[in-house]
Amino acid sequence: MDFQNFGLHEAVVHGVQSMGYSEPTPIQSQSIPVILSGRDLMGSAQTGTGKTAAFALPLLSLLAKHSKAPRCLILEPTRELAAQVEIAFKDYARFFDIEVGMIHGGVGHGPQREMLQRGVDVLVATPGRLLDFMEEGDINLSSIEYLVLDEVDRMLDMGFLPQVRRIVERCPKERQTLFFSATLPPEIEGLTKWVLRDPLTISIGQRRSPAETVTHGVYPVAKDQKFDLLLALLEKTNYHSVIVFTATKMMADRVAARLNELKHPVACMHADRSQKERMEALEGFKSGRFEVLVATDVAARGLDIASVSHVINYDVPGHPEDYVHRIGRTGRAQQEGDAFTLFTAEELDAVRAIERYIETKIQRHKLEGFPYLYTALFNEDAIPQGGAAKGGRTLNGYSFGAKSGKKRR
């Protein structure tokens, strides 16, 4: 199958070719015909599967040409995701007379209001700011024909579902709705019944497993050595762009500051940083100016950063599904990627919870030549479930034979 066989608008096919895509990904092959036929869609797919193009290409084909009132509304949970989807639409629509705009919080209202006044066909929005504009009378949604609710489980996590409901209520009942969510907790199943009409359900890959193109492993370490092991992994790994995930904003700041002191080109991204700082971090990381991005889960979902070579979990994610999302940053669209997770005795239960969730035992690794302190994790099989040993005994200079990569530079 290639993009020409779907009956997509020729300007879309042209746009896709200019992006260098040779063949559709599985979610694209399954979704494009359904969306072109006018049917509602309920899609679940792992990150990095080509989901954005799966809805953008048919929607652009259906929209075809510019009209002043917005006809397509896409709701995204975060500003970063909204920005990414806007850019993707603009890329695919480059041979079209279609206007794409974005509204999100964290910046002034003025330029976004002007953009709405000029008129857009496709509006990508985060729920809060869209509601502001609706309440102020800057936009009404009566012209919406296509509604996309993206990353709905993320919107649920962030407490946005009531806002989403209010927005959907203001869209015409006669519309086509596309609904994407990686997981389907009960609150979301209720919402699907309300917003979708006779949808076709598409599920790509096993929801619970990490992308098949990612090799992942865990690295037991004593708490006091976490940062040193991170450094050693960075030194020994053949990385060109790595995202380091931390559990808290404070830890992200701390790790970034220490890496910075050691002259690693590092950017930091979390919810307390301003929109400008977050965009600079993301742009600098994408352009290669920063080789390391330290981030909290704000960056974990959906963000499309091409060619992330490695993901390092500095802290084990507390929710097993976040593990899958985090390591989904690498291995996107069939590229190979590596993911390492550092873990201390306190985090053993969280690692075991992830293993139950993905139904696989994750490979344990020790970094060759690293002066490990002893931790009970090295005798992990002796630690009972729910009884992670605390702390560790010091055996300085002890080294363990293990896999390591070579630094390219």
Which positions lie near ligand AMP, rule CB under 6 A? 21, 24-25, 28, 47-53, 304, 306, 332-333
**Cβ distance to ligand AMP smaller for residue 92 or 146:** 92
Region for 17 from its dihedrals, namely left if φ exceeds 0, alpha if ψ lies in -120 to 50, beta otherwise: alpha
Which of residues 297 and 304 has its CB atom nearest to ligand AMP in the complex? 304
Nearer residue to ligand AMP within complex by CB, 47 or 177: 47
Residue with smaller CB distance to ligand AMP, 3 or 314: 3
Least spacing, CB of residue 118 vs ligand AMP, in Å:
27
| 28 vs 225, beta carbon nearer ligand AMP | 28
Shortest Å distance, C-beta 158 to ligand AMP: 19
Beta carbon of residue 393, minimum distance to ligand AMP (angstroms, whole number): 45
Quote the least distance from Cβ 49 to ligand AMP, whole Å. 5
Q: How far is the CB of 23 from ligand AMP (least distance, A)?
A: 6
Dihedral-angle region of residue 334 (phi above 0 means left; psi in -120 to 50 means alpha; beta otherwise) = left
Find the shortest distance in angstroms from Cβ 24 to ligand AMP.
5
Among residues 28 and 241, whose Cβ is nearest to ligand AMP? 28
Q: Which tokens belong to 275?
A: 């929109």
- Tokens describing residue 51: 């989901």
Nearer to ligand AMP, 18 or 248 (CB): 18
Q: What is the C-alpha end-to-end distance of the chain, expressed in Å?
A: 40
Residue with Cβ nearer ligand AMP (129 or 286): 286
The least distance separating ligand AMP from the CB of residue 21, rounded to whole angstroms, comes to 4
> What's the min distance (Å) between Cβ of 208 and ligand AMP?
17
- Of 104 and 301, the one with the shorter C-beta distance to ligand AMP is 301
Residue 26: φ, ψ to 5°: -55, -40
- Which residue from 339, 375, 404 is spatially nearest to 47, judged by alpha carbons? 339
Residues 6+ apart with CB under 8 A from 379: none
Residue nearer to ligand AMP on the CB measure, 26 or 284: 26
What minimum distance in Å lies between the beta carbon of 225 and ligand AMP? 35
Pairing assessment for the beta strands 266-269 and 214-220 based on DSSP bridges: unpaired
Nearest approach, Cβ of residue 306 and ligand AMP (Å): 5
